[in-house]
Structure 1
Amino acid sequence: MMKVSVIIPVYGVERFVERCIRSLLEQTLQEVELIVVDDCSPDNSVAIIQRVVEEYPHRLVKFITHETNKGLPAARNTGLAMAKGEYIFHCDSDDFVEPDMLETLYDAAKEKDADIVWCDWFLSFEKNERYMKQPAYGTPMDALKAMLAGQMKFNVWNKLARRRLYVDNGILFPAGYAMGEDMTMMLLFAVAKKVVYVPKAFYHYVKLNSSAYSQNFSLKHFESIKHNIEMVETALRNWFGNILDLEIACMKLEGKYLFLMSSRKDMFRLWQTTYPEANAYIMQNHYISKRRRWVQWSASKHLWCLVCLHHWLIDKLVYGVIYK
């Protein structure tokens, strides 16, 4: 039996994919299967992977190709359907990992009989990196609340989750709704019995264009965000009733916070008209920094000059000059 199944969706990443796949093939954990999902990639990404895989004949690597481009969530689901491992790990094909990542997380999971393990990560730029510390929580509910409210990242790629959580609860990624599809991880925490945090960074999240979101945002992205927020809200209310009202409101605020990472007036209008009922909870969200609350409060008072100033300082100065 495979200990870990690693799902790697591939689309247009020929510049980065060799580093990614080598980092996975060189893991110290041996009982690992790699599942490469070619989402109809238009470049040489898959050919590069196949060439590199030939250098590691002892590794189990499965390839599957979509006949048409279906998007990231559907590619993750394709990988899940093929997975045989006890635990699932998702790796984006333009990122890379430390060689002991899977072994360390798997050992932590087995030692504590945990359903999910998460860890710290690196935000990797062209010339430097930033260490991204994650909070520690003793229960799945505490971790879920922190993810809903924005204190803990719900990304798929710094977490190892028991495959049975997906299978037994019918949890899949939202095919066709790629923006915010990582919110699916919150559903896994909602059904988990035990979780563990490892205070070490293993995953390198490569970010070479910090302003890509604000430049390329579209109405399709907007609909994806709303769909995924409502998917999570519906599931949580079915399972827990109203006990997460505050955290769900904070999730909506954090979801539309993306619209404030810009200086575009149309994005500000989207912020105003999206989940206006959640604005009453801005100052109650003590999971996040005072700075983020201040930006949201400024938007609620239509102080757009302050929102633009924040965007300039963070996006242009911090991530445009200091980290790049």
Structure 2
Amino acid sequence: MCEISIIVPVYNVEKYLKKCVDSILNQTFKDFELILVDDGSPDSSGAICDQYAEKDSRVKVIHKKNGGLSDARNAGIEVAKGKYLGFIDSDDYIAEDMYELLHNNIVRENADLSICGIYDVYQERQAIKKERIKRTVTSLEAMVLIFEGNNISVHAVNKLYKRKVFSGIRYPMGKYHEDSFIIVEILDKCKTVVIDSIQKYYYVHRAESINTEKFSNRQFDFIEAWELNENKVLGRSRKLDIAAHQRVCFANFLVLDKIIKNNVSDEVTETKKIISYLRRNYFFILKNHVFTTKRKISMTLLMFSLHLYKILSRIQNK
């Protein structure tokens, strides 16, 4: 038995895996097991996992047939022995005191979930330091903050969960943005959530994946997830209703921007549906405090034409 089980799905990341694993093994908090789930990697990632297991008794390795991120996380959950669960993506890395911070907070507040902040790391762009907030909140208050997404993200990876939170909950197979699909169920299992948004998790946006990612229908899973979430929470509170609807609008913006970035707006039949949805919500978007001034300007241009929206979107991307 250990205090924390840290689960890392591993697939085709031989260039990044060592930095990730080293950042975990060098944690100031020591009482953990590290479960590396080799999800049928075609490169040397699986062998690297085995090398770490030989050197450090805290490392456990699962080799399995490729099933995707959700399947790999679920496999780790099944064998985890810790009182608490944490997840790390294998091409990211963490500050040496991340789990000490998360664990201290969850124990001190007797919380079910502990959350810290994320640095978005880009190759040619300095990471943005965000405002730090420290709060202990109810699950409903946490939902509002996560739905709004300004300081606290939906990601699985910057969190420490009481193991019982995942009783009866697993990541959905075959879905993109899998974290978004189960966030409501997770928070419904929590009475108390402790938040310290100091940025301790380094989310690496790889230049090659950013520049070469092609648009696919999987992107629509993001809209689906937040539409489902809106229906799950509808009527719980006015503040949450607004936050949930804002997130659906944001999901539509995100997918539309990816369609435009890949120059496939005329080929994707759902483009008109997204534009129609956003136009119907024009005044809601303009009044909502979460959307930036730039976003509201681009939405105003979209009311006139997609062409004008594209021009501004491409300028902003540059």
TM-score by length of 1: 0.84
Aligned-pair CA distance for 1:212: 2.8
Aligned-pair CA distance for 1:175: 0.9
Task: State whether residues 121 and 132 of structure 1, in contact with CA within 8 Å, keep that contact through their aligned partners in structure 2.
Answer: no
- 1:217 aligned to which of 207, 215, 218: 215
**RMSD (CA atoms):** 2.7
- Equivalent residues in 2 for 1:1-324 (5 A)? 1-57=1-57, 60-67=58-65, 69-126=66-123, 129-133=126-130, 136=133, 137-139=135-137, 140-151=139-150, 152-167=152-167, 170-177=168-175, 179-183=176-180, 184-209=182-207, 212=210, 215-222=213-220, 224-237=221-234, 240=236, 244-258=240-254, 259-261=256-258, 262-263=260-261, 264=263, 265-266=265-266, 270-274=270-274, 276-277=276-277, 279-280=280-281, 281-299=284-302, 301-316=303-318
How far apart are the structure 1 equivalents of 2:230 and 2:106? 28
Superposed CA deviations along residues 230-275 of structure 1, whole A, max 9, x for unmatched, are 44345434x9498743233222111122222434324886343149
Task: State whether residues 5 and 84 of structure 1, in contact with CA within 8 Å, keep that contact through their aligned partners in structure 2.
Answer: yes
How far apart are the structure 2 equivalents of 1:66 and 1:43? 14
Change (3 A) 1:128 1:47: farther
AA in 2 matched with 1:293: K
Task: State whether residues 37 and 75 of structure 2, in contact with CA within 8 Å, keep that contact through their aligned partners in structure 1.
Answer: yes
How far apart are the structure 2 equivalents of 1:42 and 1:79? 20
AA in 2 matched with 1:272: K
Corresponding residue number in structure 2 for 1:320 = none
Task: State whether residues 6 and 88 of structure 1, in contact with CA within 8 Å, keep that contact through their aligned partners in structure 2.
Answer: yes
Instruction: Give aligned pairs, total.
Output: 307
Aligned-pair CA distance for 1:96: 0.7
SS of the aligned residue for 1:131 comes to: coil
Superposed CA deviations along residues 104-153 of structure 1, whole A, max 9, x for unmatched, are 11011101111111112222223554134266354232221232234332
Aligned-pair CA distance for 1:182: 1.6
Aligned-pair CA distance for 1:276: 4.5
Task: State whether residues 116 and 196 of structure 1, in contact with CA within 8 Å, keep that contact through their aligned partners in structure 2.
Answer: yes
Aligned-pair CA distance for 1:45: 0.8
How far apart are the structure 1 equivalents of 2:108 and 2:9? 30
AA in 2 matched with 1:130: A
Change (3 A) 1:88 1:298: farther
TM-score by length of 2: 0.85
How far apart are the structure 2 equivalents of 1:283 and 1:272? 21
Task: State whether residues 10 and 41 of structure 1, in contact with CA within 8 Å, keep that contact through their aligned partners in structure 2.
Answer: yes
How far apart are the structure 2 equivalents of 1:47 and 1:247? 45
Where in structure 2 are there 5+ consecutive unaligned residues? none
Task: State whether residues 257 and 296 of structure 1, in contact with CA within 8 Å, keep that contact through their aligned partners in structure 2.
Answer: no
Task: State whether residues 116 and 159 of structure 2, in contact with CA within 8 Å, keep that contact through their aligned partners in structure 1.
Answer: yes
Task: State whether residues 117 and 158 of structure 2, in contact with CA within 8 Å, keep that contact through their aligned partners in structure 1.
Answer: yes
Task: State whether residues 260 and 267 of structure 1, in contact with CA within 8 Å, keep that contact through their aligned partners in structure 2.
Answer: no
Task: State whether residues 39 and 68 of structure 2, in contact with CA within 8 Å, keep that contact through their aligned partners in structure 1.
Answer: yes
SS of the aligned residue for 2:82 comes to: coil
Corresponding residue number in structure 2 for 1:322 = none
Superposed CA deviations along residues 7-48 of structure 1, whole A, max 9, x for unmatched, are 101111111001111111111212101111111111111211
Task: State whether residues 5 and 81 of structure 2, in contact with CA within 8 Å, keep that contact through their aligned partners in structure 1.
Answer: yes
SS of the aligned residue for 1:54 comes to: helix
SS of the aligned residue for 1:221 comes to: helix
Change (3 A) 1:132 1:142: farther
Task: State whether residues 256 and 271 of structure 1, in contact with CA within 8 Å, keep that contact through their aligned partners in structure 2.
Answer: no
Where in structure 1 are there 5+ consecutive unaligned residues? 317-324
Sequence identity percentage: 28
How far apart are the structure 1 equivalents of 2:114 and 2:275? 32
